[in-house]
Amino acid sequence: MGRAGLIVIDMLNTYEHDDAEALVASVRTALPGVTALLERARAAGAPVVYVNDNFGRWRSHHGEILQTALSGPRADLVEPIAPDEESLFVVKARHSVFYETPLAYLLKQLDVRRVVLCGQVTEQCVLYSALDAHIRHLDVVVATDAVAHIDTELADAALRMMERNMAAELRLSGDISFQEARSA
């Protein structure tokens, strides 16, 4: 039947781009949800995959990207969700976590059929990733209290689009069980 995996989108960020200010406030609100999901997924032995932009640094690896983010002014938004020794990594160019990345291949290898999405930005990469997961016949869960946005109205619309048109389940992080998903 396949199992569930947690996809952590673009959370290794220095927050120095445009729109960062609005985003930072929302990320602060979403952090407890993301950390709760990380704990639950790790406790259940479910795969955790960080998918992240590399900010055009095609030489840097995830350790360096993490260090850059931790050295920045917003280390408090990065430290709580930092990858552990078991975390997996996929670099994306931009847009969806699936577009021109090996994520679909990795999930197939891990027998993951159900992806739990958290991270940023709700009305951008999270939305595009939900669409691409749905097109690829994966079940999609979006943790509504663990995603961060820039524009509140667009984010609300994005969540409704995911639920209505991409068959995504919208759930609070506290209601997402990776065990349940695994046995489903």
Among 9, 91, 126, 142, binds a second copy (CB under 8 A): 91
Tokens of residue 132, six digits: 């691409």
- Are 140 and 102 spatial neighbours (Cβ–Cβ below 8 Å)? no
- Range in contact with a second copy (rule: CB under 8 A) among 36-44, 60-68, 138-146, 174-182: 60-68
> Token pair 């059929």 is at which residue?
113
Task: Give yes or no for residue 62 binding a second copy (CB under 8 A).
Answer: yes
Residues 107 and 86: their CA atoms lie apart, in Å, by 15
Please say which residue, 32 or 154, places its beta carbon nearer to a second copy: 154
Binding-site size for a second copy (CB under 8 A) equals 44
Among 55, 94, 171, 177, binds a second copy (CB under 8 A): 94
Over its C-alpha atoms, the chain yields an Rg (Å, rounded) of: 15
Task: Give yes or no for residue 9 binding a second copy (CB under 8 A).
Answer: no
Q: Residue 13 — left, alpha, or beta (φ > 0 → left; ψ -120 to 50 → alpha)? A: beta
The number of CA neighbours under 13 Å toward the Cβ of 36 is 16
Written as one letter, the residue type at 63 is G
Task: Give yes or no for residue 158 binding a second copy (CB under 8 A).
Answer: yes
Residues 65 and 84: their CA atoms lie apart, in Å, by 14
Task: Give yes or no for residue 171 binding a second copy (CB under 8 A).
Answer: no
Task: Give yes or no for residue 167 binding a second copy (CB under 8 A).
Answer: no
Task: Give yes or no for residue 131 binding a second copy (CB under 8 A).
Answer: yes
Binding site for a second copy (CB under 8 A): 49, 56, 58-59, 61-63, 85-95, 99-106, 108-109, 123-124, 127-128, 131, 135, 137, 151, 153-154, 157-158, 160-161, 164-165
